[in-house]
Structure 1
């Protein structure tokens, strides 16, 4: 049997790979792994794996994480888990880890870990919104998004208002083979019905009153890239058949045009409404639904990832501060209040609450009173009250707090007035 040098063998792997003994010490690592953590392969050998990847003083299972090392040496299982690792500059990176059982020449058991970073190497800087979190629900969602990004299938993102559907869409584009192509966004709720067709497909000069020149539509602009349809349930029913045809054939005509154009577009859509319910109400075409939902992904609410609140608050406060001044920080009472609140508006509502708190806090410290949380909306225990009742009560409280000014309530919720009007009508609050 041929003999291979371990270092040469693992260096052939394009993904970070590390070999760990039963005492958590690294016995070998490929160049890709060493580069990720800012050290040489020689310098990394002998270090504890958790000290390198987690910047921690103890194994990850002692911090409540599922540990591939413990699974292998304790239970004889080679498992796949999701972790947050830290680069040499303390920047977090969500990573899928696949464990492998390896045997040395003397029969000793070793853990081989192959790492699959879930995010692109060129991560967003602090001036841009990021997907922040380490909770199991959040890591599972990011892993799912990373898996579907490589597909050419249309993706439908479902989640409550404010969970970060546009961030998820950008993540998918950045991880996809189309990352070098355009990324085009349209908020379907913000486009008047009379202009919708022109926005999607463009128009020729003189196609209608006021069209003084040729305009390329979003499908044309997104050719070779990704088109993100936010609030897709708001697409007018009369336009849905035309959209369906484009998705089926890749062909379309500008408004007022006679030439057939082609566009190679990957579609990502998002909604906070159950599209099949819209189908039942005759407001959405079933055939279009199946075109949009080639793969569907549900994004977790902030209530499902409360452990991410401290990190999210810190990140958002840093972003709100910008370069102008030192960021405010929440004290223990503020964090406790945030984690007791249910956030019907999710991350968007959290950002708006913090933005107001920054203006009223003293000495750069945000306290519970600075958050101005709605006092009449009590935390909801799972199974005790439906989401609709929570949202209705929250909107009712905001209407009272803002003396019925809908534009202020919409701003507090981080939604358009059109979306707010629909919710008011749904909950009989108009």
Structure 2
């Protein structure tokens, strides 16, 4: 039966009316119908798209996306007959990456045949993530979900609270939100609340009048005034002294404040974004952070994932950072496959900031500009590999033998860790390689390097 006759005409009219891309796909991955927005996005005429494989159109792949390890809405919808939503990377007509959110839904034809209806919603492209020569870079599901949250939050004036560990890039995230908002042409003012002493915090934030305190010889505008019309970013909001939280709350609730020593109420038209690495809810329970201030700043709460939860982003981040880190001769740094494997399995307690620091040190140590695993100086040796089943007795023995882990070489730690895994898996090398996220060939090379060929039961 012709593709155009397999769905009702009114459905075609509905999808044509959508501003976003919409495509209907049959059980064999063939495109049955698509609207103009979808065809335009991938540079295909509406008369030519029917009958083409969906994965060839949007993924430029000869096989369905689930065979490439992706969460496939086609597979899910046809298995469950229920809606399914995913984040994907598509390739547009220029073969450029496009981050999209896909809402897949079951659609039934006139004869009861099941089809997949896909609504495609573009989210922030990587080129749109730039801020001051820095970019938020990544394609992992957790990263893309976070980007979509931030892009959605940017369209409102509701206060935002960014949660995340040290070094995940909370200020860069705040700049991303600012640059996606209607205030992007206005100032972005950042305040590190942890670096300002209690004695001058009020003056820094609200400003002061002449004679407000000893040694004050003139009026000074505060940072909140400098952010007029734009965005005020309060980093480490949990460090604001408890006795000053009330004044901050009043300014956020009413939009009015006074300079220190002043009598005139000033109006602040600012979008407030706060960030913290602390558990503010716990601080509220402990009485060190005001509950009313917490609920005021957390209108929208977004958690930025740590680097260990987005390991697939490590390689592109390393590549992007090395393009900016020059060797002594002015060339761009490079990295071996073995060194990349180690970096992809390291825990990064300092997240993006630590990753950049590690690469800078490695380039400096390397005499050729080529980073090998010997060049890497990783500080979190106990967590080089994410392994909750690590042998604690082995770690304790190593501590006695070698002293503190931070004084040991990376190769010593790696050898100990591999030996521990071999014992855990009774010498089953395939399982050890899988847990280390390396190939068996690489594992065999390391076993020979560390003289561990006979550890365990010598299973193949």
Task: Return the TM-score normalized by structure 2.
Answer: 0.73
Mapped to 1, the partners of 2:40 and 2:356 lie a distance apart of 35
1:268-417 aligned within 5 A: 268-320=273-325, 327-361=332-366, 363-374=368-379, 376-379=381-384, 381-382=387-388
Give the deviation of 1:42 after TM superposition.
4.8
Please give the alpha-carbon distance, in whole angstroms, between the structure 2 residues aligned to 1:261 and 1:208. Answer: 20
Name the SS of the counterpart of 2:98 in structure 1: strand
**Native 8 Å contact 1:95 1:115 kept in 2:** yes
Larger Rg: 2
Aligned partners of 1:398 and 1:294: how far apart in 2? 42
Residues 251 and 261 of structure 1 are in contact (CA less than 8 Å); yes or no, is this contact kept in structure 2? yes
Q: Structure 2: which 5+ runs fail to align?
A: 1-7, 392-398, 410-460
Q: Relative to structure 1, is the Cα distance of residues 318 and 17 closer, same or farther in structure 2, using a 3 angstrom cutoff?
A: farther
Superposed displacement of residue 18, structure 1 = 2.4
- Relative to structure 1, the CA distance from residue 352 to residue 285 in structure 2 (aligned partners, 3 Å threshold; closer, same or farther) is same
Distance of aligned partners of 1:378 and 1:251 in 2 relative to their CA distance in 1, 3 Å threshold: closer
Partner of 1:79 in structure 2? 84
Q: Deviations over 1:30-70 (max 9, x none)?
A: 33334434555455554432233223232111122221111
- Which structure 2 residues correspond to residues 4-403 of structure 1 after superposition, within 5 A? 9-42=14-47, 44-104=49-109, 108-119=113-124, 123-125=128-130, 128-176=133-181, 178-179=183-184, 181-205=186-210, 207-208=212-213, 214-320=219-325, 327-361=332-366, 363-374=368-379, 376-379=381-384, 381-382=387-388
- Report the Cα distance in structure 1 between the residues aligned to 2:43 and 2:330, rounded to whole angstroms: 31
1:147-180 Cα shifts (integer Å, max 9, x gaps): 4444443222221111121232233334445445
The Cα of 1:241 is off from its aligned counterpart by 1.3
Relative contact order, CA 8 A, sep 6+: which one is greater?
1
Aligned to 2:415: none
Q: What is the DSSP-based 3-state SS (H/G/I as helix, E as strand, rest coil) of the residue aligned with 2:314? A: helix
SS at match of 2:319: helix
Q: CA deviation at 1:311?
A: 2.0
Q: Work out whether residues 119 and 175 of structure 1, in 8 Å CA contact, stay in contact via their aligned partners in 2.
A: no
Shift of 1:316: 2.0
Q: How many residues align?
A: 390
What's the offset of the Cα at 1:181?
4.5
Deviation at 1:115, TM superposition (A): 1.7
Secondary structure, aligned partner of 2:29: coil
Relative distance call for 1:95 and 1:375 in structure 2 (3 A) is: closer
Whether the 8 Å contact between 1:127 and 1:319 is mirrored in structure 2 is: no
Q: For residue 5 of structure 1, report the CA deviation from its aligned partner.
A: 7.0
Q: Secondary structure at the match of 1:257?
A: coil
Give the Å deviation of 1:182: 3.7
Query: How has the CA–CA distance of structure 1 residues 261 and 378 changed in structure 2, closer, same or farther, with 3 Å as cutoff?
Result: closer
Q: Distance in 1 between matches of 2:184 and 2:321?
A: 26
CA distance in 2, matches of 1:208, 1:41: 72
Is contact 2:131–2:172 with CA below 8 Å preserved after alignment? Answer: no
Structure 1 stretches lacking a partner, 5+ long: 386-392, 402-430
Q: Per-residue deviation at 1:334?
A: 0.9
Deviation, structure 1 residue 27: 3.8
